[in-house]
Amino acid sequence: GENVEQHPSTLSVQEGDSAVIKCTYSDSASNYFPWYKQELGKGPQLIIDIRSNVGEKKDQRIAVTLNKTAKHFSLHITETQPEDSAVYFCAASLPNFGNEKLTFGTGTRLTIIP
């Protein structure tokens, strides 16, 4: 099965600086890579995702890059703000039409220092 590793487990950045979280996956057949944000006491919420036919995707201050050759993908948050403090999870999914299942990374606790 798929295995997803996520680094770092904790990350502290000054407000206004950028944050980068990296994930690697094991199965080269994986084709869908979402990122979820989990705030304290809440369920994870999708913030951005990327398919394997795309190398980069951006949504305002958030971007995700994918390197299929190296089997890794990264989340980039620019101009960080206090509300970006949360736990972030990456995930990967194998193509199994109608039955896709996500394998999650272990999470990164991001703290924005005012």
Which residues contact other proteins by CB under 8 A?
1, 4, 6, 9, 32, 34, 36, 41-46, 49, 89, 93, 98-102, 104-107
Rounded Cα distance, 10 and 27, in Å? 25
Q: In angstroms, what is the minimal distance from the CB of 57 to other proteins?
A: 13
For other proteins, the closer of residues 36 and 73 by Cβ is 36
CB of 47 closer than 8 Å to CB of 58: no
DSSP-derived letter for residue 113 is: E
Smallest distance from other proteins to CB 86, Å: 13
Q: Which is nearer to other proteins, 53 or 99 (CB)?
A: 99
Q: Which is nearer to other proteins, 84 or 89 (CB)?
A: 89
Amino acid symbol at 21: I
Exposed, middle or buried: residue 36 (CB in 10 Å: 0-12, 13-18, 19+)?
buried
